[in-house]
Homo-oligomer: A and B are copies of this chain.
Amino acid sequence: MGKFADRYFGVNPWLITEKGFDPAYGMVAESVFSLVNGHMGLRGYFDEGYSGERLQGSYVNGVYERREAAHQHYCGVPDTVEFMVNAVDWLRTSITCGGERLDLYTSDISDFTRTLDMRTGELTRAFVWHVNDETDIKLTFERVLSMEYPELGASRISWEVLRGVEAPDVSPEIEFSDYWDVEKTAAAPDFRALTGTTRHTKQTLYASVSYRRSESALTRIAHISRVSPADRGALIRHTYNGLRSGSAAWWRSQWAQSDVEIDGPDDDRQGIRYCVFQMHQTNSGRGRVVVGAKGLTGEAYNGNTFWDTEIYCLPFYLFTNPKAAKSILRFRRETLNEAMERARELNLNGAFYPIATISGRECCTLWQHANTQLQASTAVAYAIWHYTMITGDDGFLRGPGLEMLTEICRMLAARGAYDPITGEYGYYGVMGPDEFQLMVNHNRYTNYMAKKTLLFTLETLRSVGAEETEEHRDWRQKAEAMRAGYDAQTLLYEQHDGFFRLPHVDVASIPAEEFPLYNHWSYDRIFRNDIIKQPDVLMFMFLYSSEFSLEQLAANFDYYEPRCIHESSLSPSVHSILACRLGRVEQAYELFRFASRLDLDNYNRNTSEGLHTTSLAGGWMNIIYGFAGLGSGGGQLSLNPALPDCWRRLSFPLKYRGRLLRVEITHEGTDVRLESGPPISIKLRGEDYSVPAAGE
């Protein structure tokens, strides 16, 4: 896979640390030190400004602008794009002393440290500013976003004159980005309020900040709201320390319910905690949440959400914070109308969920993806099934869930066709998860997921006592006729009709400098051989792993894995999990190697653009589904642990249908306990196992 660590940050089980500032890592550090509380996000940018390369990003969940797409018009391809918009910089501070303005790109500083404490969610930065021959000043910057009150954030800048007599002048400012029309509604020495409105989407944001100054410190409490402004009185009730304590308490509770403890190398310990920390930051379960490809930590992919959210991120939330899981589904329910409108644009019935979206409308302007990938729609259906199975929340399924499922099935029944020779049903002109195979017929993933969606919907309809209609019979007929493309002799699924007859390219023979292929191979060349970008057949074998035997898995793994170049950050995790299942633990650990540290060690060299949110989730899945061998098929939890040699112990909690379970795995054995909730029986290494209640 040819990926190598670029280690810059200190390794510590609970802290991310930076000692000494290297401008070359400026934007990587901005991403890594992002603070997010579900509602808003701040990259780790410098309050005082910075004349070097930076992305001074401050974002609010669900706030976006719109622009025209730059391409020739095609029917069914969107002409406009919506993107997460940089909002308001309320940390901005002018710091001057001796006629110089502080700027870490040009100022003379020493003893720089920056620390993100994952136990409290606080980011701290300190350094000594050598203003001139007579003056040295120590500056400390602290910031926190409240996990209790998501519309609140706080910052404290304090200073100490170490040498000389001149104190710095520290002046707070506040500014919206250029995308906004801004109105100042209040301005006093200790209070500022602004109202910003996006020019095209006309979304409003109310920003209010109160300031408290002393001789050696400036504290701010900011209120950033989509609903209403805050007055000074509402803000001065809060203190920096108070908000920090509240957040620390929230984090204590979260860690108790989701910490993944590894007794092994510190970089693995830090890596998985960073994944868990950022996943909670991205979505704490309040309100409707758009989980963008970069969360609220950068602008790449326009802040849009993809099907990866339902497939890779949802499991983390299902087992650690079901409310957060539900907020993801709620976004899809609230944008069902847009998905139905999208189906009309594609000359279909029902609902076609967008490949990339922030508002519910399709924002992918590449027809070869936007019009041919059905996996956003089948992922929503899968997520409803998965959510129901893990949380037991039948109410959601029978209400909003069934509404979505019904419209997705209508689309699936409209988009497919019967093979004129065999009479089998399936999808023509599609692109499956493997984006290296374009406009193919009967992609197995698409067919398989569609069949599962149709059958689950029919089963749900029956369970709520719905009468079987002509339409339902049509769905059943199509599900039953769905082309499987399975060869009982070889146990192989052919990725699509004709895949086995594509010219073979030996992936190992491709020179390292030709990766990533998108940058070095003519676009069409990528699509005309048997190289695959990421799991496709192996993907549905992972999602429904209880339905396939180890022999079937082994046959397909051995066929597809060598053809996969993992040109997606999500690909190795799935392969690693399947390798665990096949008992190939060392290959699994090799594939896992960077899954949990993709951003901390900047493996893909693009962490500067923002964190790989879904890969962070993949790191968690890799451990829990892979090394712990979690399974949930057939309505029962199962564990098949297989630790790498260098881990002595793996311990984590799991929420499951109103219970909190604790799993402890060593090379000697596995211990599962109930911390709360009613008794339960699980499968442990294939054997029934009654989990003892807490204290038993």
Contacts and interface: CB of A to CB of B under 8 A. Distances in A.
Interface of A: 70-72, 74-77, 345-347, 366-368, 371-372, 417-422, 428-429, 438-439, 441, 497-498, 500-504, 518-525, 527-529
Nearest to A71: B71
Nearest to A440: B439
A387 B556 CA distance: 53
A361 B524 CA distance: 18
B420 A518 contact: no
B501 A419 contact: yes
Nearest to A519: B75
A428 B503 contact: yes
B346 A75 contact: no
A372 B420 contact: no
A439 B441 contact: no
A439 B70 CA distance: 24
Contacts of A521: 75-76, 347
A503 B418 contact: yes
A581 B254 CA distance: 80
Contacts of A366: 72
Contacts of A503: 417-420, 428
Contacts of A519: 75
A521 to B, nearest CB: 6
Given A429-B528, A439-B527, A371 B501 contact: no
Given A523-B367, A523-B371, A524-B367, A504 B74 contact: no
A498 B500 CA distance: 13
Contacts of A371: 522-524
Contacts of A501: 419-422, 441, 497
24 contacts: A70-B70, A70-B71, A72-B366, A74-B518, A75-B522, A345-B522, A346-B522, A347-B521, A347-B525, A368-B368, A371-B523, A371-B524, A372-B524, A417-B503, A417-B529, A419-B503, A420-B500, A420-B501, A428-B529, A429-B527, A439-B527, A439-B528, A441-B498, A497-B501
A522 B352 CA distance: 13
A345 B525 CA distance: 11
Give the oligomeric copy count.
2
A522 B76 contact: yes
Most chain B beta-carbon contacts within 10 A, residue among A71, A418, A523:
A523
A163 to B, nearest CB: 53
B500 A497 contact: no
A523 B76 contact: yes
A362 to B, nearest CB: 12
Contact of A498 (B498, B522, B524): B498
Contacts of A368: 368
Contacts of A504: 420
B523 A421 contact: no
A332 B102 CA distance: 63
A423 to B, nearest CB: 11
A492 to B, nearest CB: 14
Can you list the 8 inter-chain pairs with the closest CB atoms, starting with the nearest? A76-B522, A429-B528, A417-B503, A371-B524, A428-B528, A74-B523, A70-B70, A346-B522
B524 A429 contact: yes
Nearest to A368: B368
Contacts of A522: 75-76, 345-347, 371
A345 B500 CA distance: 28
Contact of A439 (B419, B428, B439): B439
A372 B438 CA distance: 13
Given A421-B501, A428-B503, A77 B347 contact: no
A497 B502 CA distance: 11
Contacts of A347: 521-522, 525
Contacts of A428: 502-503, 528-529
Contacts of A367: 523-524
A366 B346 CA distance: 21
A447 to B, nearest CB: 14
Contact of A500 (B76, B421, B518): B421
Nearest to A420: B504
A520 B346 CA distance: 10
A417 B502 CA distance: 9
Contacts of A419: 501, 503
Contacts of A418: 503
A529 B504 CA distance: 27
A370 to B, nearest CB: 9
A520 B429 contact: no
A503 B368 CA distance: 20
Contacts of A523: 74-77, 367, 371
B438 A524 contact: no
A681 to B, nearest CB: 48
Given A429-B528, A501-B420, A520 B75 contact: yes
A346 B428 CA distance: 27
A410 B310 CA distance: 47
A77 B77 CA distance: 20
A345 B520 CA distance: 10
A42 to B, nearest CB: 29
Contacts of A422: 501
B76 A524 contact: yes
A529 B439 CA distance: 12
A442 B366 CA distance: 26
A518 B71 contact: no
Contacts of A346: 522, 524-525
Nearest to A72: B366
A74 B368 CA distance: 13
A441 B70 CA distance: 30
A372 B522 CA distance: 11
B429 A76 contact: no
Given A420-B503, A428-B502, 11 more contacts: A75-B522, A76-B525, A367-B523, A367-B524, A419-B501, A420-B501, A420-B504, A421-B501, A428-B528, A429-B527, A498-B498
A420 to B, nearest CB: 6
Contacts of A441: 498, 501-502, 528
A372 B525 CA distance: 9
A11 B179 CA distance: 60
Contacts of A345: 522
A540 to B, nearest CB: 22
